[in-house]
Structures are given as structure tokens and as C-alpha cells.
Amino acid sequence: MLFPTFTFGVFFLFVALGHAVVRRSMAVWKPFMLVASFVFYGWFDWRLTALLAGSIVFNWALGIAIDANPNRPRDVVGIGVGVNLAVLAFFKYFLFFTESVTSLVGTRGPAIAILLPIGISFFTFQGISYLVDIHRQKLHHHNLLDVALYISFFPQLVAGPIVRATEFLPQIERRSIRSTVASGEAAWMIGQGLFKKVVVANYLAQYVVDPVYDAPNRASQLELITAFYAYAIQIYADFSGYTDIAIGIALLLGFDFPKNFDAPYRSLSITEFWRRWHMTLSRWLRDYLYIPLGGNRGGKLLTYRNLFLTMLLGGLWHGAQWNFVVWGAIHGGWLMLERLVGGFKFHPVLRWLTTFHVVGVAWVLFRAPTFEHAADVFRGLVTAEGGFSEVNWVAWGMIVAALLVQIVPRTQARTLLDRFARWDPLVQATALAGWILLITSLSPPGIQPFIYFQF
């Protein structure tokens, strides 16, 4: 079920009421929330719950084996990581690799349909972090119920943020869920997340981006230019909107999730961009891939190799298409270039423009279904007929407003949040209800799935 739907609203109403009743007893709260999380996940397709349960049991059992051995041998954790990645590779990449191989040898294999479990990349990464952190002695193994709740907790289950075991498990070791919650901050996060997704992302997708990318060779130059900038805003509003809602829901249930976005489009370098964009993935790739590869410990050439491989694999994580591999290569190559020259020294405005457009060019490959579509977009941006008399002022207003919001100082944004948080909870709820009514009136028809559900 999708967050901004009536179905989820009813589901969460029952979850919130149950949570309020049983939160004082973790012995009751944990199984209640686990059942709720499986209902949430099974709503997409009940068959997926078997894979989720299997992932939970496997990682729990192997965590015990790793923790029981005082030497914590690498081969045991290696088996755990390998099995997790093998399951992910089968469901997500089997067809990609078989089709790539058959195209190279010039043959066509039998058609095979494999159901892609929604959110498999996210709960797989959480399972890996649990095993590796036990191996690194950052935590000890936990009981099956705790591990199950950590991996399946519904607010972040299908699209993040990627919460680590060391961040989540200590929060359920308490005897009861805290009675006071940051309701003001939760309402703020949910409200802004809904606006980003339902109004901004859905409008740009339906009226600008999708029509252009479905047939780029029939779009005017202005439509292509608008779609170029609109997709950068759409994917940010869509993904950060989801994580805002997830963080807000977790707050209402008494949990603190890590921040996942920090005004990424104000970045002056690709290095800075990845410190601000999908921050939980960036940190995961750094700690569980880049550093194990050697990080920056082996000299410049090996550092460049490790950076490039990390981003290449990060691109492949996003999807089983060569487009994503090239997308990762663009980011990895630019990170290497920034390291090589020691950071670009020109004017900050020029650095911002360069960074934003490098990201934007890579987004074309991220969004285009094929290289041919991407080539048509790039070609049309330069050579297509103008069509400059038909400007979508709503789309451009959203694009400009979204970029301006990125430069609002953190202190000012925090001041507004703190003021809202001091309001009476009833006033906060009334304000949120009015905000949702406004969102409903401004939103285009229908709710599109979140972009990152496919990953």
C-alpha cells in the first residue's frame, strides 16, 4: 500500500490505536508491530512475505553463529553477505545478466518471468549491515523477534531510509516505547513529504517528464529542456517525500530514523552532493563497500579505483540496466576528477551550475528506459525545434521554487519547525488536516508509485 492513499490511512489508524494501547509492554508491542509490518508488505503481494521471513531467519541465525565465535572468522560473515547478495542478484539481476550474455553471443534464451520483490535491496542491505556490525563487534546478536522487527519495520521497509542495526535495535531494547513523541516534528515531516510527493512529484511526472521520456523524438526543444530540469526535481521530491513521511511515521511510533536528504541541490561538488543525497545509502556504501575495498589507504590510484567501483556498483544497485551502470560511472568518474584536481576552485555559482548539470545529465540516463531514449533526449536538447511559445509556467514555478528552497538556511527552517512544534497537539493536528485538504485540492488525479519502490 502507498503512503498517500486512503488504504494506508485506515491501516495506520489501526496501527496507531494499537500502538497507543500496547506500547507500555514491549512483549506485546513487538509482535503487534511485526504483524502490522507483514500486513503492510504483504499488501503489495502476499507471496513476498515468504522471502522477507526467510531473510529474517537466515540473518538472525547467522548472527548467532558469528557472535558465538570469539574470533569472528571472515569466512562466516562472508557466507552471510554472499547469500544475501546471491538472493538479491537472482531476483533483481538474473534476467539482466542472462540477456546481456545472450546478446553478446547472438542467441536468444527462453523467456523467464521473475517477480521482483518490492524493497528487496533495502531489507537486504539492512541484513548485511546486521551481520557485518556483529562481526566488527559493534553489537551482539539479538533474539529473532528483535531482528524480525528491525528488518521488516514497515515505515522504512520498501524505500528506506536504510536504518542500521546499531541505530534501530537499541531503541527496542527499552522496556516500553516512550510515552512522549515529537508530534510536531512528525506532523511537519509528514506534511512536507506529502506535498513533495502528491503535488510536486506527481504533477511533474504526469504533465512534463513521462510524456517527454515516452516519446523524446516527438518533443519540442522547450519540452525537453523543461523535462531535463523537471526530472531532477521530480526524483528529489518523490524520494525525499517518501523518506520524510517514513521518518514522521516512525516518530509517531516512538522511533528516530536517520536523516536521508540535506538540500542536495545546493551542492558545489559531486563529493558534497553525495554527502547530501540519499545519505543513508552513501554512508552504507562508504562503510560496507568503499572502506572494505581499501578506501583511501592504498595510494591515489587505488583510491580512485575504489571510488569508481563503489559508484559503479551503487549504480547497479539502483537497477538491472546498463543505464544505471553508466549513471554510476558518471558519478564515479567525476568524483575521481575532483580528487585528481583537488577540487575545482572557480566561482561558487559556476561550481553550483557545473555540479547541478552533471547530476542532471546523469539523471537523463537514470530516467530513460533505454540508451536510445537517452540519446534522443540529448539530441533533442540541442537540435529539436523550439516550441518556445508554449511554456508550462506551473512546472517552471515548481522547478524554481524547489531550487530556492534548497538554499534556505538550516537555522531558519529549524526555527519554523520549532515554532510549529510548540503549538498545542490539537492545533497541530488541525493544521495538518487542513494542509492535507490543500494538498488534495492541488494534486493531479491518481497516485503514482514511489520511484524507489523499483529498487
Q: What is the pLDDT of residues 200-244, one digit of tens each?
A: 999 999 999 999 999 999 999 999 999 999 999 999 999 999 999
pLDDT of residue 175: 58
Q: How far is CA 88 from CA 164, 319, 320, in A?
A: 18, 11, 11
Residues of the chain with pLDDT under 70: 70, 72-73, 95-115, 175-181, 389, 454-455
CA dist 324 and 100 (Å) reads 14
Radius of gyration of the chain (CA): 23
DSSP 451: G
pLDDT digits (tens, 9 = 90+) for 298-343: 788 899 999 999 999 999 888 778 899 999 999 999 999 998 887 7
**What are the boundaries of each domain within the chain?**
6-172, 183-269+344-454
Alpha carbon of residue 59 to chain centroid: 22
The x, y and z cell numbers of residue 204, run together, are 511533474
pLDDT of residue 435: 86
CA dist 205 and 446 (Å) reads 11
The x, y and z cell numbers of residue 379, run together, are 539530441
CA dist 278 and 281 (Å) reads 6
Q: How far is CA 100 from CA 97, 107, 111, 320, in A?
A: 5, 10, 14, 10
The x, y and z cell numbers of residue 167, run together, are 541505530
**Is residue 290 exposed (0-12), middle (13-18) or buried (19+ Cβ within 10 Å)?**
buried
pLDDT of residue 341: 85
Q: Is-contact 311 339, C-beta < 8 A?
A: no
CA dist 60 and 149 (Å) reads 11
CA dist 417 and 423 (Å) reads 10
Q: Which residues are catalytically annotated?
A: 318
Query: To the nearest 5 percent, what fractions of the chain are helix, strand and coil?
Result: 75, 0, 25
- Residue 343 CB coordination number (10 Å): 12
pLDDT digits (tens, 9 = 90+) for 162-215: 999 999 999 887 756 666 667 788 888 999 999 999 999 999 999 999 999 999
DSSP 297: T
